Amino acid sequence: MNEKLIFKALANETRRQILAWLKHPKQSFPNAASNVARDGVCCGLIQQKAGLAQSTVSHYLHLLEQAGLVTTMRSGQWTFYKRNEAFIEQFIAKLGASL
């Protein structure tokens, strides 16, 4: 667990917002064509909701993935993102124990 990388990923408000959206994907992305709760959310939907350039959102998602906060699943040309709940719970527990 690279805490420095996690804190770097969480330092940006938009990346924190993406994590919040992914916590409740059905509510955050109600018009998605796929089952976002099961499969995750594609970068394009996140990009539309964030209102940022695709390259910026891709970079943000890459940082969240590197930090371990999200997982990815590839399906053809699409990459789907989900929160890594087990990892997030571990991080919160470790943080709580150290403060």
pLDDT at residue 37, as a whole number: 87
3 state SS of 71 = strand
pLDDT at residue 99, as a whole number: 79
Residue 53 is given by DSSP the state: -
Query: How many domains does the chain fold into?
Result: 1
DSSP the chain: --HHHHHHHHTSHHHHHHHHHHHSHHHH-TT-SS-HHHH-EEHHHHHHHHTS-HHHHHHHHHHHHHHTSEEEEEETTEEEEEE-HHHHHHHHHHHHHH-
CATH number for the domain that contains residue 17: 1.10.10.10
pTM here is 0.91
Is 35 inside any structural domain? yes
Is 99 inside any structural domain? no
Is 58 inside any structural domain? yes
How big is the chain, counted in residues?
Answer: 99
Host domain of residue 20: 3-94
Show pLDDT as tens, one digit a residue, over the chain (99 residues): 889 999 999 999 999 999 999 999 999 998 888 888 888 999 999 999 999 999 999 999 999 999 999 999 998 888 999 999 999 999 999 988 887
